[in-house]
Amino acid sequence: MAKLPAEQQHPVEALGWAARDTTGVLSPFKFSRRATGEKDVTFKVLYCGICHSDLHKIKNEWGDTNYPCLPGHEIVGVVTEVGSKVQKFKVGDKVGVGSMVGCCHSCDNCANDLENYCPKMLLVYNSIYYDGTPTYGGFSNIMVADEHFVIRIPDSLPLDACAPLLCAGITTYSPLKHFGLDLPGSLYDQPGMHVGVVGLGGLGHAAVKFAKAFGVKVTVFSTSPDKKKEAIERLGADSFLDSRDPTQMQVVMGTMDGIIDTISAPHPLLPLIGLLKSHGKLILVGAPEKPLELPVFPLLMGRKIVAGSCIGGIKEIQEMIDFAAKHNITAGIEVIPMDYVNTAMERLVKADVRYRFVIDIGNTLKIA
């Protein structure tokens, strides 16, 4: 079946924008979606965020891209059809799908609601689905997914500004919680956590918002000094430092309990390890295309930890979305039409977005 043209693999006509080669240039792409299976939820896509992972992927920076590559994994919309065995959703519901559309449901990770670490996890695009056809992401007019991977969007959240939570949100919420960086101060106990957020892009700004909602102290480390005013006044960061200024960095050496490193490009870890207190944790969530150099001695001197974290499980994504609704957390977004996507990708390379592009799929993806 996979050998059939993308338009003929399934019964439902679909349109999206896909990259055909490593230039990463996206253009209209006709393909098809499966009919709604008994456990499937089908929805009209209204908005889709642009994550830097989409950029890495369309340009084959991680070396594993299959073309045509139709990206998008911060997908939200309204349900148009549900299968006969679907229990959690009905037509008209506001829903979202993030990075995952399949997992084995039987390994230890799946048993612990960590589908994101299942060795058989299927990605929403650039994976091969169980029926042998490629998966295509959210830069498209229609989406279908097993209900297990569908997230309910509370009514109080605006669909456009909550789309980025499905990746940027969970990718920062999950490590803040898991590594205990969410502990606020208490009157009788220890002072609260002091968290560093490195890189103020899509993930970084979500990290600041969640960390502040948890009640911890946040210092942003950025290469873009012009982001300072907004970081403090609108995102609520406690301080903002220019990570390229050694004098500013020196002042806060040894003061962080944890750091969420969201940088998308290769960068030195030594200065970041130096920012940590003893037992501090440097959590890498950014995914540069080349390995980073890990200096060992600065880790030994202070029992410091370097770890990684990848999105979050479905249960935790729902928890994060519900938390966001309760605390009024949405992404800072620039809504763009579909045909602006290639310009948006060029601007994303230059860290020129506050803080996430979201494509208005519903109004601007034209069926030719």
209 near ligand NAP, judged by CB under 6 A: no
- Please say which residue, 167 or 324, places its beta carbon nearer to Zn ion: 167
310 near Zn ion, judged by CB under 5 A: no
102 near ligand NAP, judged by CB under 6 A: no
Residue 189 to residue 187: CA distance in whole angstroms: 6
Q: Which strand (E) or helix (H) includes residue 101?
A: strand 100-102
Q: Are 231 and 222 in contact (CB under 8 A)?
A: yes
58 near ligand NAP, judged by CB under 6 A: no
Residue 44 to residue 75: CA distance in whole angstroms: 10
Site for ligand NAP in 310-329 (CB under 6 A): 310-311
Residue 60 to residue 21: CA distance in whole angstroms: 8
- Site for ligand NAP (CB under 6 A): which residue of 94, 227, 281, 354? 227
User: Total residues contacting ligand NAP (rule CB under 6 A)?
Assistant: 30
Angle at 168 between CA 223 and CA 250, to 5 degrees: 30
Region binding ligand NAP by CB under 6 A among candidate stretches 49-57, 153-161, 298-306, 317-325: 49-57
Q: Are 260 and 283 in contact (CB under 8 A)?
A: yes
Site for Zn ion in 85-104 (CB under 5 A): 103-104
Q: Are 43 and 12 in contact (CB under 8 A)?
A: no
User: What ranges in 105-167 are assigned the alpha helix state H?
Assistant: 108-111, 159-162
- Site for ligand NAP (CB under 6 A): which residue of 33, 56, 177, 354? 56
Region binding ligand NAP by CB under 6 A among candidate stretches 24-32, 40-48, 258-266, 360-368: 258-266
Region binding Zn ion by CB under 5 A among candidate stretches 13-21, 53-61, 320-328, 329-337: 53-61
Residue 190 to residue 199: CA distance in whole angstroms: 28
The residue ranges that bind ligand NAP (CB under 6 A) are 51-53, 56, 167-168, 171, 199-204, 222-224, 227, 262-265, 267, 285-287, 309-311, 348, 351
